[in-house]
A = this chain, B = another copy of it.
């Protein structure tokens, strides 16, 4: 399988220009790429122009690539025309399996042979989405490249192939997204919802249960995150967060101390049995992630992040449109 060299790519195609597809287009433009957009809606161009205008100041603040031009895009209703000259294709159609199957077949037929085609799907396995393309032997370049809203600001992209995808295409897509500044997680197997959405979805379902049972309001659920664990998560994820909560004993202490609470009804999700093997996998994983940084260093980093994020969020709440009555004290007073 011969794939195009990443360095040679100056033009990409976005198939579908909704919130996600349009967000991708804005991001690609900010990286100095030209973007060819396919969308059948007669108002798609107008909406996309608005989306890019809204996103551009943010992208400018994060740093534009040399030659980035917010107007370097064209919109097309003919798919082959949109793909012409594109060195990479990002499909972001609505989350409808049959529609994705048809579109991916159409894209695979029309795109140049050495071009990788990624889907923004938030949950479908590529094996299912590629069914029609696979029947024509065209599924080897099809990968999932799952972004997070807004794709022009959130760095995470989850990359995973289907059963017919060539491993080289998965590797290429991972390298490509990294080259344009994304934080890439490459999965070695298809899992419904990938990783981040599975974690979000567990939280979301428990939240729905709580609302359903009258245990918490929507506002309480949001505040439980924004003013609680949410402040820790931009710097250190949930695993490292728990490891630090274990004090100098780290994740091993944490699992020994709080392991029994896995059996308690603290959520409607049944936990796996905490076998020695699972315990070791988690402890070793945290050690790997800490990568030699000491407990005090990690705590210093966490605290610095929380302070600055609190100050920042406090300022934002106070200064943004309509925020006067939503102000929250940052320091508080005795």
Residue A84 at the B interface, CB < 8 A? no
Residue A58 at the B interface, CB < 8 A? yes
Is A205's CB under 8 angstroms from B301's CB? no
Residue A80 at the B interface, CB < 8 A? no
Of the candidates B154, B222, B275, which one forms a contact with A237 in the assembled complex, judged by CB atoms under 8 Å apart?
B222
Is B196's CB under 8 angstroms from A229's CB? yes
A195-B216, A211-B278, A212-B278 known; A331+B225 contact, CB < 8 A: no
Of the candidates B193, B221, B242, B289, which one forms a contact with A238 in the assembled complex, judged by CB atoms under 8 Å apart?
B221
Is B310's CB under 8 angstroms from A62's CB? yes
A206 nearest CB neighbor, chain B only: B202
Is A293's CB under 8 angstroms from B321's CB? yes
Residue A276 at the B interface, CB < 8 A? no
A153-B310, A312-B308, A316-B235 known; A31+B268 contact, CB < 8 A: no
Is A234's CB under 8 angstroms from B231's CB? yes
Is B221's CB under 8 angstroms from A291's CB? no
Is B216's CB under 8 angstroms from A187's CB? yes
Of the candidates B215, B281, B291, B323, which one forms a contact with A191 in the assembled complex, judged by CB atoms under 8 Å apart?
B215
**A156–B230 CA distance with the chains assembled, in angstroms:** 10
A220 nearest CB neighbor, chain B only: B185
Q: Which residues of B contact A262 (CB under 8 A)?
A: 205, 208
Residue A2 at the B interface, CB < 8 A? no
A226-B237, A299-B54 known; A211+B269 contact, CB < 8 A: no
